[in-house]
Structure 1
Amino acid sequence: MDLPISLKQAFPLARTITLPELSTSHELWNNSKALVWLHLHEKQTIAQQVLALKAVAPQALVVVMSDMPNDMEALAAFSMMAKAYSNTHAGAEVLLNIASVVEQGGIWIGESIMQKLLGNGAPEQQKLEKALGKWSNLLTSRELEVAKAIAIGLSNKEIATKMSITERTVKAHVGAVLDKLQLKNRLQLALLVKDS
């Protein structure tokens, strides 16, 4: 797979390396705090891909890149200790900014997820949590299991497989959870679960 054009522009010395190639130089990567740009593919979950990379390069600073980024995928990446999450097609300037933040020990959170964390309803969520008290008491055991699966970034299909139920049943549970907790979307639910 070729490097994205903007990645080549930002980092002319960067090169594509497969996991098997990376694992052959295991000693080199074992203690390295190298910046690794992990381009996601659809054949494995984010967790599987990040864990495979971390097994070979445990100290690597992982930036997860997605062709079709979304907030739930970003949360999954951060739950796997990624240092950043980015669109594969982000411009060279953005990629340089990401690298700068991560190499200085920071975490790069994209604008979309940052707005959701800070701007869209954060005070409302705090009021809601106080009103609800212990939110998990409002859910059935199956709904709680679905909520926890959402918090780690699993899709409805992955939740259905994990719980041995249909995707339709998962959708029903998700709807019930959002309704009971008066939340607007899966992102708010994931944040609520992660914060408790």
Structure 2
Amino acid sequence: MREIEEKTQTLLVAAHHGGVVPRFERSTIEPAHDRLIAEMRAAYEGGDVPPYLDQSGRDLLSEGRETFRDWNLDAIILVQEEADLHLLLWRGTQATAVFGAVLSMAGLECEVHDLGLILPNTKGEEVAPILEKLVTMEKIDPMDVAEFVKNIGDGRFRESVPEWLARKQWADQNASLIRTVPTMAKAVLTNATSTWT
């Protein structure tokens, strides 16, 4: 750290040759619906500029679109960042969390983020066989998946609700999304095959 600007509450830091991008623990993630994520993607892929944006907004939108195009994110689902694999599902928070729980059940460690999952210390080649198996699974038991949800007891009533009931409730609420996991896995495989070969 080089300097602290009290007025703007800003830390000025200098790059370190051995530094990596920091990861911050997210205490809460504001849930996003599938529709919102689809609209976000459409905004990145589009070319129109909403008239209500000021110059800063137009600059940020332009920068976001440029990065989206530079990384080819309209076609790429997997992004390898050093040892970690980012799986960009472009689905809502709940669908992404369900897919992450199923991958955890299959033995992969996952962290949910806004647009997909981070699989620490994982390469795409390690994920492919698991996804291929998921595509062929006709029935995935929601209660089996619920056993792999880490934060099942979080929330205001965690002291009052027994864990088995919280898991049952999670399974009931997410059963319809769990039925879509083979389709989601197929979409990832279809879009990621060229990345692995």
TM-score when scaled to structure 1?
Answer: 0.25
TM-score when scaled to structure 2?
Answer: 0.25
Instruction: Give 1 or 2 for the bigger CA radius of gyration.
Output: 2
